[in-house]
């Protein structure tokens, strides 16, 4: 199944939403949208295409009502989600959905493409858990590419779970929390063996934490 979701925020207006497939969205406040699953997705073979645009001077918060469960399909275990994010000068986006849980035997790939104009503001949080209770053999791959105009801000990729280059029997991580913040005036600091807050050359920070389980 192919799912397409479009959310467009314009200053002084309610966000506009267009959805086809297994994902919908509902206005839950003047500047807040919650994502809602309308079918079991992503299953193996599914593709999700999600586009979020925030215009000049607009503000948008995007949340979800529940976690996303990636499940293997009959023909293939692989599913794919592409997030396209654009924020204009003076616009502000806070994108913080509930975690993605990759079930045992499933393989889920995420690509996030972020384009910001100078003067835009962004907080993008991603949380992933490989395996439900008693499972540890799912696989997740995530790539995050962000630009400010024509200037690269971030090129980042992580793999978790079975067949990941970081996987081993003793300490292979199964959970990820990642937060891209732009701009961010906090000083970079080392926050632990598996967590770090790192400055980006073009501004902003990237917080990354890996572990066995997500924090509640």
Answer yes or no: is 190 within a domain. Answer: no
Answer yes or no: is 206 within a domain. Answer: no
* Helix boundaries (H) for 82-176: none
Q: Structural domain of residue 45, as residue ranges?
A: 2-172
Answer yes or no: is 89 within a domain. Answer: yes
Answer yes or no: is 91 within a domain. Answer: yes
Answer yes or no: is 9 within a domain. Answer: yes
**Quick check: 153 and 200 in contact, CB under 8 A?**
yes
Answer yes or no: is 96 within a domain. Answer: yes
Answer yes or no: is 124 within a domain. Answer: yes
Q: How confident is the model at residue 196 (pLDDT cuts 50, 70, 90)?
A: confident
CA distance 32 to 20: 20
* Number of domains the chain is built from: 1
DSSP 8-state class, residue 14: P
Q: How much is the pLDDT for 88? A: 98
DSSP string, 45-99: T-EEEEEEEE-TT-EEEEEESS-EEEB--SS-SEEEEEEEEEE-TT-EEEE-PPP
**Quick check: 16 and 45 in contact, CB under 8 A?**
no
pTM of the model: 0.91
In tens, the pLDDT along 45-99 reads: 999 999 999 999 999 999 999 999 999 999 999 999 999 999 999 999 999 999 9
Q: Is the pLDDT of residue 204 over 70?
A: yes
Q: How much is the pLDDT for 188? A: 56
Q: How much is the pLDDT for 184? A: 85
Answer yes or no: is 191 within a domain. Answer: no
């Amino acid at each position: 199944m192919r799912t397409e979701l479009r959310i467009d925020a314009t200053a002084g207006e309610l966000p506009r939403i267009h959805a086809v497939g297994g994902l919908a969205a509902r206005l839950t406040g003047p500047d807040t949208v919650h994502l809602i699953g309308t079918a079991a997705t992503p299953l193996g073979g599914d593709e999700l295409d999600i586009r979020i645009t925030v215009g000049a001077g607009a503000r948008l918060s995007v949340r979800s009502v529940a976690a996303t469960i990636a499940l293997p399909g009959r023909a293939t275990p692989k599913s794919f989600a592409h997030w396209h994010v654009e924020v204009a000068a003076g616009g502000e986006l806070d994108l913080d959905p509930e975690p993605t849980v990759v079930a045992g035997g499933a393989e889920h790939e995420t690509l996030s493409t972020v384009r910001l104009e100078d003067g835009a503001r962004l907080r993008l949080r991603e949380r992933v858990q490989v395996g439900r209770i008693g499972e540890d053999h799912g696989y997740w791959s995530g790539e995050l590419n962000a630009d400010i105009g024509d200037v690269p801000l971030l090129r980042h990729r992580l793999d978790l779970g079975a067949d990941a280059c970081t996987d081993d029997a003793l300490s292979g991580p199964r959970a990820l929390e990642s937060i891209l913040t732009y701009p961010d005036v906090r000083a970079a600091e080392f926050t632990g063996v598996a967590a770090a807050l790192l400055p980006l050359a073009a501004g902003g920070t990237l917080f990354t934490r890996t572990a066995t389980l997500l924090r509640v």
